[in-house]
């Protein structure tokens, strides 16, 4: 009798402790992945944005910088991240696997669209993409739309072999560093995210001032913010509301202003159909 009571007590205690653990897991910070799609240099801005979002959703939000898109995507799949701001290329590539969903798209200069900028050094004699033949070209990363897929697609469309066109290529894993590589003349040319270039041109023109845009690509759906499929529906809704409502309060507007974005909007996955066309590996 005493044993059975003791056993019950032990089981009860164990159940209590596991409950407590579950509760603490649920109350832990929401991990929000960031990638090369955004400018990662202004840490202070992301801290304040995380704080803002945390207050809106009722749980602390933590932005986590990830070096590659693949890393960010995989961490969504494993469940380590609940949300992520990824490039439109991995979005288009993995959206059919359904382990994440489209939550919001930033509106940049009035539209949820962006494009690739082909840049060279401001003193470079190069005027056209074709003139970069035999030169050094900087890519962002293999899973980047504007930083890899778009220029290769453009070369392919022009009848060139993207693998042989340049003398040498390298990856910087950051649009900002790609711009820097051109500004330092390590690379003769590069293709970068128009949002990152414009952001830097407004916030830190030191680098972009040394670069010149020689060509702009067609528009693509802006790198979207996605949620993990298994996430609590209420949390997802709160996060979506928080993002979409940012332009409704002054603090949110100030943050958007710093991000050089108009607002966040809901969008249809079809926005990224253009990106999907680049999925054909050239």
Smallest distance, Å, CB 181 to another protein?
6
Place of tokens 């290769």: 152
Q: Using the rule CB under 8 A, is 111 a contact of another protein?
A: no
Mark the segment that binds another protein (CB under 8 A) among 147-155, 163-171, 233-241, 264-272: 163-171
Rg value, the chain, Cα: 22
Smallest distance, Å, CB 77 to another protein?
26
Query: What string marks each residue from 133 to 152 as x (binds another protein by CB under 8 A) or -?
Result: --xx-x--------------
Q: Could you say which of 45, 71, 99, 170 contacts another protein (CB under 8 A)? A: 170
Burial of 101 (0-12, 13-18, 19+ CB in 10 A): middle
Q: Using the rule CB under 8 A, is 185 a contact of another protein?
A: yes
Give whichever of 65 and 210 is closer to another protein, judged by the CB atom. Answer: 210
Give the chain's end-to-end CA distance (angstroms, integer): 75
Q: Using the rule CB under 8 A, is 97 a contact of another protein?
A: no
Q: Using the rule CB under 8 A, is 193 a contact of another protein?
A: no
Smallest distance, Å, CB 154 to another protein?
22
Q: Using the rule CB under 8 A, is 121 a contact of another protein?
A: yes
Burial 3-17 (b: 16+ CB within 10 A, else e): eeeeeeeeeeeeeee
Q: Using the rule CB under 8 A, is 7 a contact of another protein?
A: no
Q: Can you tell me the distance from the alpha carbon of 205 to that of 228, in angstroms, rounded to the nearest whole number?
A: 35
Q: Using the rule CB under 8 A, is 154 a contact of another protein?
A: no
Q: Using the rule CB under 8 A, is 186 a contact of another protein?
A: yes
What lies within 8 Å, CB to CB, of 226 at 6+ separation is: 76, 83, 84, 85, 86, 91, 100, 101, 102, 103
β-bridge mates for residue 114, sequence order: 220
Pure H helices in 204-281:
205-208, 233-244, 250-259, 273-276
Burial 160-194 (b: 16+ CB within 10 A, else e): bebeebbeebebbbbbbbbbbbbbeeebbbbbbbb
What lies within 8 Å, CB to CB, of 124 at 6+ separation is: 185, 188, 189, 212
Q: Using the rule CB under 8 A, is 163 a contact of another protein?
A: no
Give whichever of 172 and 278 is closer to another protein, judged by the CB atom. Answer: 172
Angle separating helix axes 43-57 and 250-259, nearest 10 degrees: 150
The token pair at 131 is: 């003139």
Give whichever of 99 and 170 is closer to another protein, judged by the CB atom. Answer: 170
Mark the segment that binds another protein (CB under 8 A) among 20-28, 132-140, 201-209, 265-273: 132-140
Smallest distance, Å, CB 141 to another protein?
12
Q: Could you say which of 168, 237, 248, 268 contacts another protein (CB under 8 A)? A: 168
Smallest distance, Å, CB 173 to another protein?
9
State the residues that interact with another protein by CB under 8 A: 121, 135-136, 138, 167-168, 170-172, 177, 181, 184-188
């Amino acid at each position: 009798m005493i044993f059975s009571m003791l056993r019950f007590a032990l089981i009860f205690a164990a159940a209590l402790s596991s409950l407590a653990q579950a509760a603490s897991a649920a109350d832990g910070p929401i991990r929000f992945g960031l990638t090369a799609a955004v400018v990662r240099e202004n840490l202070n801005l992301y801290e304040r944005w995380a704080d803002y979002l945390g207050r809106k959703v009722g749980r602390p939000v933590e932005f986590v910088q990830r070096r590659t898109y693949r890393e960010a995507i995989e961490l969504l799949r494993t469940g380590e991240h609940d949300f992520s701001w990824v490039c439109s290329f991995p979005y288009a590539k993995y959206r059919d696997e359904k382990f994440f969903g489209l939550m919001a798209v930033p509106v940049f200069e009035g539209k949820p669209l962006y494009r690739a900028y082909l840049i060279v050094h401001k003193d470079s004699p190069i005027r056209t993409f074709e003139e970069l033949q035999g030169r050094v070209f900087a890519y962002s990363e293999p899973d980047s739309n504007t930083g890899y897929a778009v220029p290769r697609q453009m070369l392919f469309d022009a009848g060139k072999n993207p693998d042989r066109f340049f003398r040498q290529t390298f990856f910087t894993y950051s649009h900002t560093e790609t711009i820097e590589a051109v500004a330092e003349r390590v690379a003769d040319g590069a293709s970068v995210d128009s949002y990152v270039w414009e952001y830097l041109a407004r916030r830190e023109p030191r680098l972009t001032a040394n670069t010149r845009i020689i060509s702009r690509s067609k528009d693509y759906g802006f790198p979207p913010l996605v949620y993990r499929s298994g996430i609590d529906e209420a949390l997802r809704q709160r996060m979506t509301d928080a993002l979409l409502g940012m332009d409704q309060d002054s603090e949110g507007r100030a943050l958007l202003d710093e991000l050089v974005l108009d607002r966040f909007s809901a969008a249809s996955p079809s926005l990224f159909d253009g990106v999907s066309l680049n999925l054909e590996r050239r």
